[in-house]
Chains A and B, each alone.
Chain A
């Protein structure tokens, strides 16, 4: 640093630090003396992880991108976010790349011998959440959607687990489900004004089937 070169200034600083230092110098001294906050330091290190107690998969998140940097960055972000939400995570697992290739003639069809190849490689990462609370998993997914990164697509498979007495719990929730379905089921059925007692040949003679005929399909009489 610059002020170590000047002996008189060093003397001043050692005498009373705070009165004679300007803002920049004070900031520099903080930088050399104090460490970063732990949460900021953690960004430079490998992401922390929770340990899964049972290892029951709850959510599979697949990230896709055409760029390695983007997908790696966002996978790292997702793993860190899961740590702070106390979700045990396994991954990111690099899944096989999807390679699509197209070959196009460079010019007109006559010049078929000279062609050009194009490709699009989709990179994938799989992040699996293990034995997490469904609501917390939803919160994690919502957080990732809120901070979605450019050029990275997300696809999540979420599994919910039930106890062994599924039938009982379904029976107990049935009245509520029926109540929510009532407005829809009340509209189910045939409309009154479309009900007709015509025979099928009458329906076929109906103008709906006759109106849009192709040209030259009517038989000329006489």
Chain B
């Protein structure tokens, strides 16, 4: 959401709107994680009155979607592609192949066995 987005982006690599959005989600998630954990603690604490726990449950459910960890998705740093991103290099499959063939990834070479 636009009110979460920083005016100046601290981003490197390939940038498009979806990359910026994912970056914003990561930052918002990090910012609100203590609040989420506090609410979760209240919800799971059986010694608290039921009313308070129910209220905390509602508040946790009504928090913004960007504060959820499940909204974060790994994207290719060279192409912004969200699918088939190799964790070790943070690259999508095609970018990985191009860079590996160009010898830009240390130690990666064509395998045959």
Contact = CB atoms under 8 A, between A and B. Distances in A.
Interface of A: 66-67, 100-102, 104-106, 116-122, 151, 200-201, 204, 208-210, 212-215, 217
Interface string B86-113: 1010000110110010000111111110
Contact of A212 (B48, B64, B112): B64
Contacts of A105: 93
Contact of B100 (A118, A210, A212): A118
B35 interface: yes
Contact of A214 (B63, B86, B88, B100): B63
A66 B51 CA distance: 60
Interface of B: 1, 32, 35, 39, 42, 48, 51-52, 55-56, 59, 61-65, 67, 86, 88, 93-94, 96-97, 100, 105-112
Nearest to A199: B52
Contact of B111 (A101, A200, A204): A101
Contacts of A209: 35, 39, 59
A142 to B, nearest CB: 25
B65 A214 contact: yes
Contacts of A208: 35
B100 to A, nearest CB: 5
Contacts of A121: 107
B56 A217 contact: no
26 contacts: A66-B106, A67-B107, A100-B88, A101-B111, A102-B86, A102-B96, A104-B96, A116-B110, A117-B112, A119-B108, A120-B105, A120-B107, A120-B109, A200-B42, A200-B48, A201-B51, A204-B42, A204-B52, A204-B55, A204-B59, A208-B35, A209-B35, A212-B32, A212-B63, A213-B62, A213-B63
Given A104-B94, A151-B106, A204-B59, 19 more contacts: A101-B111, A102-B86, A102-B96, A105-B93, A117-B111, A118-B96, A119-B109, A120-B105, A200-B42, A200-B48, A201-B52, A209-B35, A209-B39, A209-B59, A212-B67, A213-B64, A214-B62, A214-B65, A217-B62
B61 to A, nearest CB: 8
B94 to A, nearest CB: 8
Contacts of A151: 106
Task: For the complex of A and B, list the 8 residue pairs with the smallest distance between their C-beta atoms, beginning with the closest.
Answer: A66-B107, A119-B111, A217-B62, A117-B111, A120-B107, A214-B64, A104-B97, A104-B93
